Amino acid sequence: MLKSIKPKLPTLQPLPASVRFFLRPMMFLALGLHALLLFYPLQREQKPKPKQEEKAAVKITQLAKAASPRPPARRQVPRVKRAPSNTPKPPAAAAKPEGGGSNQKDPFADFPHYPNSTPDCFGRGLGDYCRIANADINTLLAHFKQALPGKKYEFAVAEDEASRKILQITKADRQVYLSLLADAPTSVYVLATQPVQSLETLRGAVIVPSAFYDLLSQIIPPPDPNDPSATSIARRENFAEPDLFFKPSDDPDAVPEKRPNLDNTPQIIAGQTPESLYQTIAPQLTSIFEQVTPIGTFAGGPLYRLKKGSTTVFLSIVPAQGVSGAIITMWLKDPR
C-alpha cells in the first residue's frame, strides 16, 4: 500500500555534451551578473564626499597685551662688611682740591718732624707721616708742643696716657691727629686722619714682644748728656752693606730710610762682637721666645729665627764699621 502512495518524480534525461559545454559558461556569467547587481546598490548609496567649503574669513580681534610675568624676586644676600684697614691714611691722602683738580699744596708739608727720626715706620707706605724717633714718648711730646706753634699749627691734647698720646692738630681748616706711641727704647709718631689705637694696629699681623725691646733698652748705653753728638743709632757708614738695611740715597747727609720689615732703629752695642753680643742676650731671648734658632748669615753676621706662638721674627747681628761694636736689628720677615 505504501508503494501506491509514493510520488513519482520525473526522471531527468542527461543533456548532451555540446549543451553542457554551452550552459556551464552561461551559469558562471549569470552568477557574476547577480554579484554585480548585489554590490551595485551599496556603491550607489555611498554619498560622494562634499567639496571642501571655502574657509570663511575670520575676523581677528587683537587682544590686550598681557603683562609679562615678573621674574621671581632675587633673594637679598646681606653684604658682609669688610674689616677696616689697619693702615692709617696720611693727611695728603685725604686732601682733594675743589673742582676735581689734582694740584693742591699740602698744608702739612712743613710739619716739624723730630730731628733724626726715621720715615716710613714698619714699611707701611706712610712715608714722612709715620716716623720712628730715638726718644722716649715724653721727650717727643715736649718737642711737638714747642715746635707746632712756630709753624702756625693749632693743637690740643686729646688723649694723654703713659704709652700713648694723641694731639688734635688743625691747620688751614684741616684737622688731623698726631699719635705718639711708646716703643722703648724708641717712640713712633703718626700724622693721620684718624688716631692710631696701638702699635699692634700700626704694625699689622706681626707683633714683636715688648719684652725684647725692654731687653734692648737694658744693653744700650744711655746717651751722654755732655756730648749731644754721641749716639747709639747706626748710620749708613756703620754697615759693610748699608743697602741691605736702608733704601739707596744719593744724599749722604739725609736721614737713612729703613728697608721694609726692618722693625727697630739699628742700634750699635759698643765693645761687642756679633758672637759675644748673642752670648750676652741668649738667656733672656730663650725666656722671651719659645724657639731661638740660628738659620745662617745675613750681611756678614749671624741671623736667628725667633718664634713665640704664631709670631715669627728675625734677629740680625752684624759687626759695626768704623767703631768698635755690633749692630742689632729686628726684622718682621726673613731679610735675605
Q: Indicate which CATH number applies to the domain containing 170.
A: 3.30.310
Q: Which of 204, 229, 257 is the last residue of a domain?
A: 204
Q: Which helix (H) or strand (E) holds 80?
A: none
Range of the domain at 249: 206-336
Q: Which of 170, 204, 238 is the last residue of a domain?
A: 204
pLDDT at 148: 94
The arrangement of strands across the sheet holding 291-298 comes to 267-270, 325-331, 311-319, 301-308, 291-298
Could you count the other beta carbons within 10 Å of the beta carbon of residue 119?
17
Do 217 and 335 lie in a common domain? yes
Q: Which helix (H) or strand (E) holds 287?
A: helix 274-288
Between CA 275 and CA 325 the distance in angstroms is 11
Q: Which of 173, 204, 235 is the last residue of a domain?
A: 204
CA 113 from centre of chain: 34
Phi/psi-derived region of residue 210, left when phi > 0, alpha when psi is between -120 and 50, beta in every other case:
alpha
Q: Cα(first)–Cα(last) distance of the chain, in Å?
A: 156
In a domain, 57, yes or no: no
pLDDT at 236: 87
In a domain, 253, yes or no: yes
The amino acid occupying position 205 is A
Do 290 and 331 lie in a common domain? yes
Do 193 and 222 lie in a common domain? no
Do 289 and 239 lie in a common domain? yes
With contact defined as beta carbons under 8 Å apart, do 132 and 117 qualify? Answer: yes
Do 179 and 152 lie in a common domain? yes
Q: Which residues pair with 258 in a beta bridge?
A: 246
Count the helix, strand and coil residues of the chain and give each as a percent rounded to the nearest 5: 30, 25, 50
In a domain, 73, yes or no: no
Q: Which helix (H) or strand (E) holds 149?
A: none
Q: Which residues pair with 268 in a beta bridge?
A: 327
In a domain, 62, yes or no: no
Do 211 and 336 lie in a common domain? yes
Say whether 30 sits in a helix, a strand or coil.
helix
Q: Please list the pLDDT of the chain residue by residue as tens digits (336 residues).
A: 445 555 555 555 566 666 666 677 777 777 777 777 776 655 455 555 555 555 545 445 555 555 555 554 443 333 333 334 455 666 654 443 344 343 456 788 899 999 989 887 776 667 788 899 989 999 999 999 999 999 999 999 999 998 899 999 998 888 889 999 998 888 999 998 888 888 877 776 566 787 888 888 888 876 666 665 567 888 888 999 999 998 887 776 667 778 878 887 888 998 999 999 999 999 999 999 999 999 999 999 999 999 987 788 999 999 999 898 999 999 988 999
With contact defined as beta carbons under 8 Å apart, do 203 and 286 qualify? Answer: no
Between CA 213 and CA 285 the distance in angstroms is 11
Q: What value does the CA radius of gyration of the chain take, rounded to a whole number of Å?
A: 55
Between CA 46 and CA 43 the distance in angstroms is 5
Do 186 and 216 lie in a common domain? no
Between CA 320 and CA 326 the distance in angstroms is 5
Do 211 and 270 lie in a common domain? yes
Do 234 and 275 lie in a common domain? yes
- Does this model's pTM top 0.85? My answer is no
pLDDT at 212: 86
Burial of 118 (0-12, 13-18, 19+ CB in 10 A): buried
In a domain, 59, yes or no: no
Do 197 and 309 lie in a common domain? no
Tally of domains in the chain: 2
